[in-house]
Structures are given as C-alpha cells and as structure tokens.
Amino acid sequence: MLDVSVVGYPRIGADRELKKATEQYFKGAIDAEGLARAGSALRAAHWDAQKAAGVRYIPSNDFSFYDTFLDTAQALGAVPTRYLELGLSPLDTYFAMARGFQRDGRDVKALPMKKWFNTNYHYMVPEIDARSRFALAGTKLLDEHAEAESRGVATKPVIHGPLTFLKLSRLADGTAPADYEEAIGEVYAELLGRLAARRIEIVQIDEPILVADLSEADLRLFTSLYSRILARKGSMKVLLQTYFGDVRDAYGAIMGLDFDAVGLDFVEGGENVRLLKETGFPEGKILFAGVVNGRNVWRNDYRKSLELLDDLGRHAAKGIVLSTSCSLLFVPYSVKYETEMDFRYKRHLAFAEEKLVELRELAELFGAERRGTDERLRRNQEIIRDKTQSRDFFFQDVRDRIAALSKADFDRSPAFAERFEIQRSALKLPLFPTTTIGSFPQTGDVRKLRKALKDGEITEKQYNEKLRSKIRELIKLQEEIGLDVLVHGEYERNDMVEYFGENLPGFLFTQNGWVQSYGTRGVKPPIIFGDVRREKAFTVEWITFAQSLSAKPVKGMLTGPITILNWSFPREDLPLRDIANQIALAIRDEVLDLERAGIKVIQIDEPALREKLPLRRANWKKDYLDWAVKAFRLVHSGVGPATQIHTHMCYSEFADIIREIEEMDADVISIEAARSDLTMLNVLKANNYAHQVGPGVYDIHSPRVPPEEEIHEALSRMKGKLDVAKIWVNPDCGLKTRTMEETVPSLKNLVHAARSMR
Ligand code: GLN
Ligand code: ZN
C-alpha cells in the first residue's frame, strides 16, 4: 500500500458555489461573514472527500476566493501601494487587486492577469514596486490548517515558492529577481519557522517554474534562497513540488538541497524518469510520483502506472508516494453529474472525484500480492481496452485522408504577393478598408431565444427565422455605418469553440464539467472523444443568407483548428498533430463550401494559437509550431487566389512568433494591439511583415467609446510603420460582450477616421 498525495483540489464547488458566493458578495447581497461561511463549507467538503478516499497528504491553502497566486502576494506583503491607500479591509483590498476598485470618485484598475503556464487558468500578476516591503501578513495559511484539524483532518499546507513568485511577478523597473533574495528569503524562512512551531508535519512548496527555461542566475538564486529558507524548517518536512514538465535544468540543484521530499510530474515530464535513472535519486529523500493526470479527463491506465511506479520504487530508496501530476484544479468535479451522457462514453472519464478513487485503487494495487488477477485491475484494463471510443467515432475516410496528405495540401498557391494583386482587383476595396472581427453584441434577446429553443418553447424553424431577422437588421446597420467588409454577427453561436464542436461528430459535451478559468469565471471545455469529421456544412446557410442581403462582401466566419484543439480536452490515443489535422480537414471542407457558395472573404480565427506553446523555447517549433502552422495552412490551401483569407488573434503576445504567424499564410490578419499601445507595429516593421494587417484600433474589453481623433491618430501611426496599401481598420476583437449603445458610435467613429485617412 502506497501513501497518496493530492497536489491541489478544485475549489469552485461542484455546483459553482464559489462563483455564486463571491458574486453575491460583490453585489452586497451577503457580507464578509457570509462569504467566509461559504468558503469554509467548500473546504470542508473537499477535505472530507479526500479523507474518505484515504488520501494521506491532503492539501490546505489550495482554496482561494479568487486566485492562490494573489493570496501569496497578500500573504507576503507584496501589495502595491495604490491598493493599500484605498484603506479597505484586507479582504476588500484583495478583491480590489483582483477586480479593480471604482467607487466614491476613486478608480484603481485591477492587476493584470496572465495564463498560468500552458494551462487555461489565469493567475493575477503581482506587482512589486519600489516601496513594497515583504512582511508576513494575514493568517490564511495557518487558519486553514487549523480549520481542517478541527474536522479531524491533518493537512499539508501548500504555498507558492519564492522563485516562481519572483519570476512571474512584475518587478520594479530595473530590478531582477535576485535583488529580492534577502527580503523574500527572510519572509519565507519566517513562515517556515511559524509552521514548524505549530508542529505541522509537512509543507508543500510549489515551484513549477523549475520545469521552464532557467538561466544560471535563476539556478543560483534558487539554491541560495532555499539554503536560507530550509535552515529554518526544524523537524518539519518540506516537499518541493514541481509540475507541468520535467526539471532537467534544475535536477542537480534540487537534489543538492535539504528537501525531505520532491514531487515530480511523470505525465507531462516523461524526461524525469531518465533524469532519475541516469543521475540517481538521493537516498534521504522521498519521491512524490505524479502519475494521475491533473490536466486531462481520461481514466488512468493502471497497468502502465503500476509498471512506472515499480520502476520508480527501485530508484527511490526511501520510498515513493503516489501523487497527482499537478493540482486537480484543471479538471471538473465529478462525472456523476453527467446524467445525460451515455454510460459507454462516461466510463472512459475521470474527473477530480474519480481520480481520488484511482489514486486509492492504484495505491492498494501497488502492494497487492496477486496484483495480476486483482478485480480492480481487470475492470480498469477492460475499460482501457474498450473500443467504444474508436468504434463509435472511428472514421475510416478521415484516417485515409490524413494518411494521403502530401506537402502540396499544406501550400496555397500562388504566393501572397500575386494573390494580393488578384484580390485587389477582384474586391475593389478602398484604402484603409474597414471591418469588424465577427460577433456583434449578444444581447438579452438572443440569449433568450437560445434558451427558448433549448426548453422547447419555440421550434427550430421559429428560432432560425428570428435569427435571420437579427441578421437582416445587422446587415442594414453595417451598411448605414459604412463598413466595407460586413459580418453576419455570429448570433447563432453560444461560444466559438462549443458551436463548432456541436456540429462536428467526435466531440462530447458535459452538463456540469466546469473548470475555473480565472476568479469567478468558469469554462466547460468540450472533450475530443474520437475522430473528428464534418458531415455537412453548418455555417454556409447563415453566411450566404447574410451575403444575399448586401452587395458588399460578407465574411465567412470560422474557428481555426488550433483554437478548437487548445480549448478542448484532447484524446490521448492520437498525437495532437493528428487531432489538429483532423479538425483542419473538417474546417477545410467548410471553407471550400463557403467559397463554392460565392463567399469571397473567409476568416479563420486562431485566438488561442499560443496557448499550448511548450514551456521550453527549444521545443517551440519542433513540438508545436511546426504542426500547428501546418494545420492552419491545410484549412485554406484549397481556395482560389481571389478568395481572401483572414485570421484573427488576441489574448497574448505575438512578437516572438511573428515569423510563424506569417507562415500561416493568411492574406489578412487582425490582431489585438490597442491595449499594448500599438507596440505591435514595431514588431511588424522590424520583421518586414509582408501580409495585410489590421492592428485593433480600439479596446473592446472596455465600455468606452473611442473618439474619432483617437482612431485617426492610431491610423496615422500605422501609416508611419506599415505599407499603406496593406492596412485594415478594425476593432481589437469580437463585439459580443459589448452593448449596441457602445458599439454603434464606436464603429461610426472608426469609419469616419478611416475615411479621413483615405
Ligand atoms: N470571431 C470571433 C468573435 O468576433 C473571435 C473571438 C475571439 O477572438 N476570441 O467573437
Ligand atoms: Zn479576439
């Protein structure tokens, strides 16, 4: 029997209680005490579930009202002065950092948010200004441990480590992580001292940054920080926890320090096995072996895991503890809420609760005498071997098409320069052509319609008719505003990935599979269960209807294969590149059908292009970008030279992958630029970016209406940096979340600014 450890547990609540409670608190419907009670109830439920499953190392302080990285900032005293000056309670100061504060004539923006490594979770980026003083603040860490203890649960407190904290925070200008060594090292040392004084058995310090690229200076900082901190741990054990990959650069440094236990990820960090075998694992340390995947939803293959654990056991003299590969924050709560999903599919899935069962069964099987004939192993292997997945969603035609792909399928001809001229005379657009990114405000009436259809209150025919009249109005409105390339508004789409998944066999959808994306926001990622195929066109009717209403070109709107892949839970029995190509072929069919139906401009959105970029730069191209770019090229390589292909990207930095973006070979790209103050322009210029581009001229995430002069000024700057013949004028992103009252004047100003530039 092995001991079991959980790195972290989901915290939003099986029924999203956390979202509901925090939102009520924000509205003033409950007070701080009410919110505290809700948090306490959630923690209790999570500890009880883990205790019942026999977990030996149950985390505490993995709970958070918004984000644990922000909790850490507050606990270390790293709160920017402008929030402290609001004079609020610690809880409200915390929420001011998370959401911004606007009241009584005071207006302070929230801290920025960034993606947590290559997951879809976003953390708040702490800011350490020149006046920040590190000093322990608050008692959350100790309180939650004591709270669990009073329920009879001895927990392992979890904290983010100082290296990850410094590397992911925004530091005062001109400073580097090493400048904070003394200050932050001292606070962590004091913290460990306090935990040790409470006779806490073990503390988990998370340092996921150790799986990324590290410089010599980072490694030196790591070693000296921990030499200082660990000197104060007394008899308390310290577990250094890593996840999301292997620790190849830091392996030596980690093993040379006085950690009692080291947690390694063997799911995403396959390389860790080699490191361990070649370099050896120190005799005095316990290995926490992450073998149950915290980032995907499939059942664990017990036979494989047991073989791996046997192998690891031989190299860790002091023993191993069975662990999740990372926190379970990235998977939904429980499959048991999926009452509408067919059992044949459901049996392949393991969310957080099911993973607790897997941990227990694996731990028991590990020590079992006649493991080979154990019923639990037999049942597991039967599920693993069950071919429902590939029988119900195995499409020979798709497999054949993938196998038959050749280089030519990924190349569009003629080259961009020639297409540019052909399209110029075909489309006859003015200079500084204006367009939008696709969606228009999803107002209450649209959402009501969708709900009415779902509840069976209206027929599909009535629904379609209503949406058609929305489209009719929108086309008329865009013509009045004077836009050059129109859109149909995307009213029929709930979500840009979900809508595509629903129309492509191979995807599964959950009823309650919520995963925290940030703070109060959850997402329900679809599951790519089997082969993906497009059976019939599903966007063509909408787009051709919109096109029939105007002499101006209407853009066909599609979601690209990489975005669909990156916002789903992918199957694990096919390489990601094959899944990407399957989706690409499905979208390709849609592109060609749109072209055949007379659509001249087609946009294929890839806002999530960057999301699965490997954490180590050396792997960017060969492990990801090479096939991601090719999948996109496969989508549009079949169209004629006069058909104009657009793409759209947002949410992240594109400067360092600008070459690959150009290689995607779209004719036009619209890109988020307004928030970064158009610094994107310098990048485009420096790289001689040759294709057409529409750097967003205003930020659609804000309700503000941009004045005409401001847009004019942005366009003038573009003119100074880019080829005038290749500049497009558009907002930053889709208008879905805005109101019509904000959108119409904004677009009018945009059109006027473009006209005055001509
Ligand atoms: N076409 C989509 C829209 O306008 C793009 C959304 C996005 O970039 N996330 O809504
Ligand atoms: Zn966007």
Q: What is the CATH number of the domain that holds 615?
A: 3.20.20.210
Residues 604 and 714 in one domain: yes
For ligand 1, atom 1, the nearest C-alpha belongs to 438
Which ligand 1 atom sits closest to the C-alpha of 736?
Answer: 10
Instruction: Answer yes or no: is the C-beta of 664 below 6 A from any ligand 1 atom.
Output: no
Instruction: Answer yes or no: is the C-beta of 497 below 6 A from any ligand 1 atom.
Output: no
Q: What is the pLDDT of residue 630?
A: 98
Q: In what order do the strands lie in the sheet with 320-324?
A: 3-5, 320-324, 286-292, 261-265, 237-241, 202-206, 155-160, 58-60
| Domain presence at residue 30 | yes
Instruction: Answer yes or no: is the C-beta of 439 below 6 A from any ligand 1 atom.
Output: yes
Expressed in angstroms and rounded, the spacing between residue 649 Cα and the centre of ligand 2 is 6
- Nearest to 474, CA basis, from 446, 454, 502: 446
632: its two tokens = 């996109």
**Bridge partners for 556 per DSSP:** 602
Residues 419 and 567 in one domain: yes
- Nearest to 329, CA basis, from 600, 603, 614, 123: 123
Residues 249 and 366 in one domain: yes
Q: What is the pLDDT of residue 476?
A: 98
405: its two tokens = 């792909």
Please list the rounded mean pLDDT of every run of 10 residues in the chain (758 residues): 97 96 96 98 98 98 98 96 94 95 87 91 90 88 97 97 97 93 96 95 98 97 98 96 97 98 96 96 97 98 97 95 98 97 94 98 93 94 84 90 96 97 98 98 93 95 97 98 98 92 93 94 93 96 98 98 96 95 98 98 95 94 97 98 96 85 97 77 91 93 90 95 96 93 97 97
Expressed in angstroms and rounded, the spacing between residue 651 Cα and the centre of ligand 1 is 11
**Bridge partners for 604 per DSSP:** 558, 647
Write the CA distances from 406 to 50, 401, 402, 590, 634, integer angstroms. Answer: 51, 10, 9, 20, 10
Residues 375 and 426 in one domain: no
> Helix, strand, or coil here: 102?
strand
Q: What is the pLDDT of residue 680?
A: 84
Distance CA 279, CA 114 (A): 35
Write the CA distances from 343 to 175, 336, 340, 509, 705, integer angstroms. Answer: 56, 11, 9, 13, 50
Expressed in angstroms and rounded, the spacing between residue 275 Cα and the centre of ligand 1 is 43
String of DSSP letters for 42-62: HHHHHHHHHHHTT-SBEEES-
Residues 314 and 416 in one domain: no
For ligand 1, atom 6, the nearest C-alpha belongs to 734
For ligand 1, atom 3, the nearest C-alpha belongs to 734
Instruction: Answer yes or no: is the C-beta of 607 below 6 A from any ligand 1 atom.
Output: yes
Q: What is the pLDDT of residue 293?
A: 98
| Per-chain residues with Cβ under 5 A from ion ligand 2 | 607, 650, 733
Pocket test residue of 120, 435, 436, 437 for ligand 1, highest count of atoms within 8 A of CB: 437
- Nearest to 528, CA basis, from 578, 590, 593, 589: 578
Instruction: Answer yes or no: is the C-beta of 736 below 6 A from any ligand 1 atom.
Output: yes
Instruction: Answer yes or no: is the C-beta of 666 below 6 A from any ligand 1 atom.
Output: no
For ligand 1, atom 10, the nearest C-alpha belongs to 734
Q: What is the pLDDT of residue 103?
A: 86
Q: What is the pLDDT of residue 648?
A: 97
669: its two tokens = 């790209």
Starting from the CA of residue 696, give the closest ligand.
2
Starting from the CA of residue 651, give the closest ligand.
2
Which ligand 1 atom sits closest to the C-alpha of 557?
Answer: 1
Residues 320 and 418 in one domain: no
Starting from the CA of residue 699, give the closest ligand.
2
Instruction: Answer yes or no: is the C-beta of 605 below 6 A from any ligand 1 atom.
Output: yes
Q: What is the pLDDT of residue 150?
A: 96
| Domain presence at residue 419 | yes
| Domain presence at residue 519 | no
Instruction: Answer yes or no: is the C-beta of 648 below 6 A from any ligand 1 atom.
Output: yes
Starting from the CA of residue 738, give the closest ligand.
1
Q: What is the pLDDT of residue 237?
A: 98
Residues 325 and 431 in one domain: no
The number of domains in the chain is 2
Residues 567 and 672 in one domain: yes
| Domain presence at residue 626 | yes
Distance CA 498, CA 95 (A): 31
| Domain presence at residue 195 | yes
Expressed in angstroms and rounded, the spacing between residue 496 Cα and the centre of ligand 1 is 7
Instruction: Answer yes or no: is the C-beta of 441 below 6 A from any ligand 1 atom.
Output: no
Residues 697 and 556 in one domain: yes
| Domain presence at residue 377 | yes
| Domain presence at residue 394 | no
Residues 200 and 311 in one domain: yes
Residues 45 and 145 in one domain: yes
Distance CA 271, CA 195 (A): 33
> Helix, strand, or coil here: 554?
strand
Helices 181-197, 140-150: axis angle to 10 degrees equals: 20
Instruction: Answer yes or no: is the C-beta of 438 below 6 A from any ligand 1 atom.
Output: yes
Specify whether the CB–CB gap between 287 and 264 falls below 8 A. Answer: yes
Pocket test residue of 446, 483, 490 for ligand 1, highest count of atoms within 8 A of CB: 490
Specify whether the CB–CB gap between 561 and 632 falls below 8 A. Answer: yes
| Domain presence at residue 455 | no
> Helix, strand, or coil here: 470?
helix
Expressed in angstroms and rounded, the spacing between residue 671 Cα and the centre of ligand 2 is 7
Which ligand 1 atom sits closest to the C-alpha of 493?
Answer: 10
Owning domain of residue 712:
411-443+481-492+530-757
Expressed in angstroms and rounded, the spacing between residue 711 Cα and the centre of ligand 2 is 18
Task: Give catalytic residue positions.
Answer: 701
Residues 309 and 434 in one domain: no
> Is the C-alpha dihedral spanning 23, 29, 32, 34 positive or negative?
negative
Instruction: Answer yes or no: is the C-beta of 496 below 6 A from any ligand 1 atom.
Output: yes
Instruction: Answer yes or no: is the C-beta of 124 below 6 A from any ligand 1 atom.
Output: no
Distance CA 188, CA 190 (A): 5
